[in-house]
Chains A and B, each alone.
Chain A
């Protein structure tokens, strides 16, 4: 299991760069070096989140267009890739409109909380074996607990807008997101029980060996397979995507809890949505689909003879390709599902959560525990 992380890599790069210029980076105390490394790492992650949003909004609009027998944006830049840059510029230069009767502090604070809740799990999500900001021992637990922060942000947005429609959206969303964290937790517990650790690195490591058949969905079949479906569906609800996008139901509530937001504040909500989508997809890939061990093998072994073994940099690249490929495919499925299904009503959303996902989740957990006890 690799113990180098992103901060170490950044420190290595800075030392080398310092050597070029003639300065010795190691003169700075350890704490300062770690702090600088973490700041740069977080900056890189924010940039990644921004790039991710741009890629996936472009992808969403093109995929939506092709599903609907039309083209998506294809005029701004080749194949329309600069459309998001144009939209970003438009949002940046918009007037900052705050309703007169909105609560001044909470209205401004709400998008930040939502973005924090969506962005904080990025710290724990790896891009490859060693490109992770922190090998936290609490990995998955940390990621799930920050989803709760989004709920607070959304209720704040709904209430502080001083708009009945936003209030409806906020209240619905509170009910929806809180309920769906239960099946998410149960599905994650299934994997934790199978692996014996909450650390994402260890969970990935336990899925090595037999190419794709060592993935958790096959290792803990059928419990982990069902748990994977439960986690993905609950994640769809947690990121407010159709069919669970009632809080931002355009045809009913104009735009739900973010009706009154425009400009950069709206972009923060959008980034939070795509961030949560990515977190769910990446977590599904890591917990259930092997993470960095994937279709592209890093070690080719037949019997006892190792035919090929990738070195540290190559295996990192292959791991990144595996993980990011799987996460992006799962995000594509999220887009595909959005443009196919109608919206589920709020009481039916709670029905699905409490009466379908939670019972199945409990069954999976007990089954996985039985598997673990029986040593399978």
Chain B
């Protein structure tokens, strides 16, 4: 048990003077920030700055997909559900869903895709009102032309874009702001 009660005379004055001096020093620090600008980003009036390499939710080009199921197998938490219909040349994607309630945002699925049809965009706004809306059905997003209309920035896989324009230093997919909410 530490003895706080018996203080010698010299100790008493030391505590007293240190108390006053450190009190004033502390007040000076808080006064400095009281009179400076706050750093708050006033969402939703001001949107946060998100870099292009942000691991947000995915973009999936159904036309390029070869249904190898590598993404489904590599996912650590099995949040990708794939159903195909038909055989051989007629094989089509019937269901491609990612459950964002489970997704770890680890990027393993994008890195393993051999045809670069799946990548993570800088789209960070995943909020929705119903629990079931957290499962995003990528196969219902229609042909790519419609998706490019809906999400104009969602043009290309970063590696493909880098190959096309190697001179520009920031050759990655630009930040995506979808124009409508995903209710």
Q: Which residues of A contact B (CB under 8 A)?
A: 63, 65-71, 336-337, 339-341, 347-348, 351, 355-356
With a CB–CB cut-off of 8 A, which chain B residues contact A63? 34
Q: Are A348 and B40 in contact (CB under 8 A)?
A: no
With A337-B27, A347-B4: A69-B16 Cβ-Cβ less than 8 Å: no
Q: Are B34 and A336 in contact (CB under 8 A)?
A: yes
Task: Tell me the chain B residues, 1-41 only, with Cβ under 8 Å from chain A.
Answer: 4-5, 7, 12, 16, 23, 26-27, 29-31, 33-36, 38-40
With A340-B26, A341-B26: A66-B4 Cβ-Cβ less than 8 Å: no
Complex partner residue of B34 from A67, A347, A355, CB under 8 angstroms = A67
Of the A-B pairs whose beta carbons lie under 8 Å apart in the complex, a sample of 20, sorted by A's number, is A63-B34, A66-B33, A66-B34, A66-B38, A67-B34, A68-B33, A69-B33, A69-B39, A70-B40, A71-B38, A336-B30, A336-B31, A337-B27, A340-B29, A340-B30, A341-B23, A347-B4, A351-B5, A355-B7, A356-B16
CB distance from B16 to the nearest CB of A (A): 7
Q: Are B39 and A340 in contact (CB under 8 A)?
A: no
With a CB–CB cut-off of 8 A, which chain B residues contact A71? 38, 40, 42
Closest B residue by C-beta to A63: B34
Closest B residue by C-beta to A339: B30
Q: Are B4 and A348 in contact (CB under 8 A)?
A: yes
What is the bound-complex CA distance between A337 and B34, given in angstroms? 12
With a CB–CB cut-off of 8 A, which chain B residues contact A70? 38-40
What is the bound-complex CA distance between A194 and B115, given in angstroms? 91
CB distance from B46 to the nearest CB of A (A): 12
CB distance from A232 to the nearest CB of B (A): 13
With a CB–CB cut-off of 8 A, which chain B residues contact A337? 27
Q: Are A336 and B27 in contact (CB under 8 A)?
A: yes
CB distance from B28 to the nearest CB of A (A): 9
What is the bound-complex CA distance between A340 and B151, given in angstroms? 48
Q: How many A-B residue pairs have CB under 8 A?
A: 41
Q: Are A67 and B33 in contact (CB under 8 A)?
A: yes
CB distance from B18 to the nearest CB of A (A): 13
CB distance from B2 to the nearest CB of A (A): 11
Going nearest first, the 5 A-B pairs with the smallest beta carbon separation are A340-B30, A67-B30, A340-B26, A70-B40, A71-B40
Write out, one digit per residue, whether chain B residues 49-82 have a CB within 8 A of any chain A CB (1) or not (0).
Answer: 0000000000000000000000000000000000
Complex partner residue of B38 from A65, A347, A348, A355, CB under 8 angstroms = A65
Contacts A67-B33, A69-B38, A337-B27 aside, 15 further interface pairs with beta carbons under 8 A come to: A63-B34, A66-B33, A66-B34, A66-B35, A67-B30, A67-B34, A68-B33, A69-B36, A69-B40, A71-B38, A71-B40, A336-B31, A340-B27, A341-B23, A347-B4
CB distance from A133 to the nearest CB of B (A): 36
CB distance from A145 to the nearest CB of B (A): 30
CB distance from B45 to the nearest CB of A (A): 10
What is the bound-complex CA distance between A348 and B15, given in angstroms? 12
What is the bound-complex CA distance between A242 and B35, given in angstroms? 21
Residue among A69, A70, A347, A348 having the largest count of chain B Cβ atoms under 10 Å: A69
Closest A residue by C-beta to B39: A69
What is the bound-complex CA distance between A63 and B5, given in angstroms? 36
CB distance from B39 to the nearest CB of A (A): 5
CB distance from A170 to the nearest CB of B (A): 23
CB distance from B10 to the nearest CB of A (A): 14
Write out, one digit per residue, whether chain B residues 140-168 have a CB within 8 A of any chain A CB (1) or not (0).
Answer: 00000000000000000000000000000
What is the bound-complex CA distance between A340 and B24, given in angstroms? 10
CB distance from B12 to the nearest CB of A (A): 8
CB distance from B13 to the nearest CB of A (A): 11
With a CB–CB cut-off of 8 A, which chain A residues contact B38? 65-66, 69-71
Closest A residue by C-beta to B26: A340
What is the bound-complex CA distance between A66 and B27, given in angstroms? 14
Closest A residue by C-beta to B32: A67
What is the bound-complex CA distance between A63 and B39, given in angstroms? 14
Residue among B12, B31, B34 having the largest count of chain A Cβ atoms under 10 Å: B34
What is the bound-complex CA distance between A351 and B26, given in angstroms? 22
What is the bound-complex CA distance between A336 and B31, given in angstroms? 8
Q: Are B4 and A351 in contact (CB under 8 A)?
A: yes
What is the bound-complex CA distance between A351 and B7, given in angstroms? 10
What is the bound-complex CA distance between A108 and B36, given in angstroms? 44
What is the bound-complex CA distance between A67 and B36, given in angstroms? 8
CB distance from A347 to the nearest CB of B (A): 6
Closest A residue by C-beta to B42: A71
Closest B residue by C-beta to A66: B34
With a CB–CB cut-off of 8 A, which chain B residues contact A66? 33-35, 38
What is the bound-complex CA distance between A340 and B29, given in angstroms? 9
With a CB–CB cut-off of 8 A, which chain B residues contact A67? 30, 33-34
Closest B residue by C-beta to A341: B26
What is the bound-complex CA distance between A101 and B4, given in angstroms? 38
What is the bound-complex CA distance between A137 and B178, given in angstroms? 73
CB distance from B31 to the nearest CB of A (A): 7
What is the bound-complex CA distance between A63 and B33, given in angstroms? 10
CB distance from B112 to the nearest CB of A (A): 41
